[in-house]
Amino acid sequence: MTNKRSDQRITYVSNSLLKINEISYHCFLENISTTGALLDINEYISDTIHIDDECSLDVLLLSPVKYACKVVHISNNKVGLKFIDS
């Protein structure tokens, strides 16, 4: 299987807030790169989050950061995001 990622992901666990269609999801950032992130959401998401949904991610790295992003992967309670220009 070929790795399609353009950048290496860094494991970094942090509380985060994902906002999609005016709904907020409290989640944990599992890893991050310059192009995207993987989140673990502790809520039922199968009917509320879809591939290509545009969203925002608030995360505390060294300081608070907000990313504009798009959902690119959903599996159980994991959501993969791609950062986009806002």
The enclosing domain of 66 has a CATH number of 2.40.10.220
5 is a domain residue: no
4 is a domain residue: no
72 is a domain residue: yes
Count of domains forming the chain:
1
Tens digit of pLDDT at every position of the chain (86 positions): 345 656 788 888 889 999 998 899 999 999 999 999 999 998 877 688 999 999 999 998 888 899 999 999 998 889 999 999 86
35 is a domain residue: yes
Note down the domain range covering 74.
Answer: 10-83
2 is a domain residue: no
How many angstroms separate the CA atoms of 86 and 84, rounded?
A: 6
Question: pTM value?
Answer: 0.80
Q: How many CB atoms lie within 10 A of CB 67?
A: 19
The residue among 43, 44, 46, 37 whose CA lies nearest residue 14 is 37
Which positions ≥6 away from 63 have C-beta within 8 Å? none
pLDDT at 60: 83
pLDDT at 2: 46
